Amino acid sequence: MSGELAVGIHDLAFATTEYVLTHATLAARTGADVAKYHQGIGQTAISVPAADEDVVTMAATAAATIVARHGSDRIRTVVFATETGIDQAKAAGIYVHSLLGLPSAARVVELKQACYAGTAALQFAIGLVHRDPAQQVLVIAADTSRYELGSPGESTQGAAAVAMLVGAGPALVRIEDPAGLQTADIMDFWRPNYRNTALVDGQESIAAYLQAVQGAWKDYAEQGGRALTEFRAFCYHQPFTKMAYKAHRHLLRHCGLDAEAADVDRAVQPTTAYNSVIGNSYTASIYLGLAALLDSAVDLTGRAVGFLSYGSGSVAEFFAGEVVPGYRTHLRTVQHRAAIDRRQDIDYARYRDLHQLTFPADGGDHLRPRETSGHKRLYES
Ligand code: HMG
């Protein structure tokens, strides 16, 4: 990439669901000690979509605020990363493009590689902006994480969408070269076409994630990246927030550094506030970590942030960003906290009904009553 031009995240907004299920409610049902969820995996709640919510409604809600602030004249590309899309052929981003009235002179595409695809979308967007700095790219990462009821994965579900405007002269985070990459063909987590819940080998997936951290970091170092000690904080993919702590301890030890609890906490804790109450949002998870970090009390002006994106199967990438002076005046902290606080608490029975809901497969029109209050499913499929 060309040296001088600063390209990165100009704006970032997230949206989540209408409902929330607390881990206290889940524990009362499963019989697990609630401390296993609160301390063991670092989660207190998960976002649960209403029957009339999906990746498109969440994505449109997140992206609408970005378009309202910046307009859409310069957006010539929309990249929608998801592993829980709504159609095998048509990109979910086309519904968002239509809902937001984006320019017809635009390309829209969907990307998939488990939780990693949001990072691929961001890197592809940066490449496009380097080619023509006058253009902006709308990057969206949106997912609903679903495992079988009663399975170990159930406590690590969740749902959210993050929308990012990528452009030259970013107001929030300048994304740096190089990136460290690793791909390995592993069956740690997958979801074949006939299933709407994921299959996972929990412990193997954790081991695969840690191996991938090591591999991506090795390549990053070989490509001439920053020293580990230069980073103020690390945004890891967070299937559950304790995974970020495990990953950071692993990386420090791999690099021959002490993994003192206070240091790990300082580097990771500010990234966990949103994920701990939203749960796994797959592609969006790492960027919810960034949102929490930017919205936190930590002054990041001019500081380097490390990003470790992991998608089962597996692809991992380590890259760095530098937080731009003045970033605080562009944040959406109030909007983000409101998106979390407005969710309605539901009981286990309501959650189970929503989990078991399946859509008719007869190709007909089936109207559902409106459930959501903040937004609604406006598109037709
Ligand atoms: P599990 O069997 O329910 O829980 O599975 P566990 O027995 O492993 O316990 C979890 C932690 O709680 C342990 O801590 C326990 O010690 C602790 P650790 O030893 O790991 O530090 N614990 C307690 N702590 C305090 N008080 C207690 C207590 N009891 C136990 N009373 C698992 C947990 C995460 C494996 C499961 O939920 C799962 O399979 N989740 C889905 C898979 C997953 O999230 N994998 C993560 C890596 S793969 C990834 O990130 C990619 C992914 O996002 C998909 C994609 O890429 O698209 C999943």
- Domain annotation for the chain: domains and CATH numbers: 7-355 (3.40.47.10)
- Rounded to an integer, the average pLDDT of 236-258 is 98
What is the arithmetic mean of pLDDT over 232-249? 98
Contact residues for 227 (Cβ-Cβ < 8 A; gap 6+)? none
Alpha helices in 87-199 (DSSP H): 92-99, 117-131
Query: Which atom of ligand 1 is least distant from the CA of 188?
Result: 48
Average pLDDT, integer, range 325-332: 98
Question: Is 218's pLDDT higher than 60?
Answer: yes
- What are 194-212's pLDDT values in tens digits? 998 999 999 999 999 999 9
Residue 375 has pLDDT above 80, yes or no: no
Atom of ligand 1 nearest to the CA of 238: 50
Contact 99, 61 (CB under 8 A): no
Residue with tokens 């995996």: 41
Measure the CA–CA gap between 126 and 166, rounded to whole angstroms.
7
Query: Separation of 262 CA from ligand 1 center, angstroms?
Result: 22
In percent, how much of the chain has pLDDT > 70? Answer: 97
Instruction: Say which residues have a Cβ less than 8 Å from residue 104's Cβ, sequence separation at least 6.
Output: none
Q: What's phi and psi for 136, nearest 5 deg?
A: -120, 155
User: Ligand 1 centroid to 364 CA: how many Å?
Assistant: 40
308: closest CA among 167, 210, 200, 170?
Answer: 210
At residue 381 the predicted structure's pLDDT band, cuts being 50, 70 and 90, is very low
Per residue in 131-170, pLDDT (tens digit) is 999 999 999 999 999 999 999 999 999 999 999 999 999 9
Annotated catalytic residue 380: no
CB of 81 closer than 6 angstroms to any ligand 1 atom = no
Residue of 200, 201, 211, 287 to test ligand 1 pocket, by largest number of atoms within 8 Å of CB: 200
Q: Give the pLDDT confidence of 181-190 residue by residue, as tens digits.
A: 999 999 999 9
Ligand 1, atom 21, lies closest to the CA of: 40
Q: Which residue has the higher pLDDT, 5 or 368?
A: 5
237 is catalytic: yes
CA distance 121 to 115: 11
pLDDT tens digits for 339-370?
999 999 999 999 999 999 987 777 887 777 78
Query: What whole-number distance in Å separates Cα of residue 58 and Cα of residue 50?
Result: 11
Provide the pLDDT for residue 1. Answer: 42
Which of 83, 110, 154, 176 does the annotation list as catalytic?
83
Label residues 230-259 b or e (16+ Cβ within 10 Å = b).
Answer: ebbbbbbbbbbbbbbbbbbbbbbeeeeeee
Q: Kindly name the residue from 115, 154, 176, 317 that is annotated as catalytic.
A: 115
| 348 contacts: CB under 8 Å, gap ≥ 6 | 21, 25, 26, 28, 29
Residue 371: its pLDDT value, please?
84
Instruction: Give the C-alpha separation, 309 to 126, whole Å.
Output: 16
Give the pLDDT of residue 376: 46
Angle between helices 285-295 and 117-131 (to 10 degrees): 70
Mean pLDDT of 7-36: 98
Report which protein residue has its CA nearest ligand 1's atom 20.
Answer: 40
Distance 202 CA to ligand 1 centre (A): 7
What's the CA-to-centroid distance between 249 and ligand 1, angstroms? 16
Q: Is 209 close to ligand 1, i.e. is its CB under 6 Å away? A: yes
What would the pLDDT profile of 89-108 be if each residue is shown by its tens digit? 999 999 999 999 999 999 99
User: Is pLDDT above 70 for 261?
Assistant: yes
Read off the pLDDT band of 3 (50, 70, 90).
Answer: low
CB 60 within 8 A of CB 68: no
**pLDDT, average across residues 173-185:** 98
| Closest residue CA from atom 16 of ligand 1 | 40
* Residue 153 CB less than 6 A away from ligand 1: yes
Residue 294 has pLDDT above 80, yes or no: yes
Note the pLDDT of residue 23. Answer: 98
Q: Give catalytic status of residue 255 as yes or no.
A: no
pLDDT in tens, 51-95: 999 999 999 999 999 999 999 999 999 999 999 999 999 999 999
Does 36 sit in the ligand 1 pocket, CB within 6 Å?
A: yes
Give 231 Cα–ligand 1 centroid separation in angstroms.
Answer: 27
What pLDDT sits at residue 374? Answer: 54
More confident position, 259 or 358: 259
115 lines ligand 1 (CB under 6 A): yes
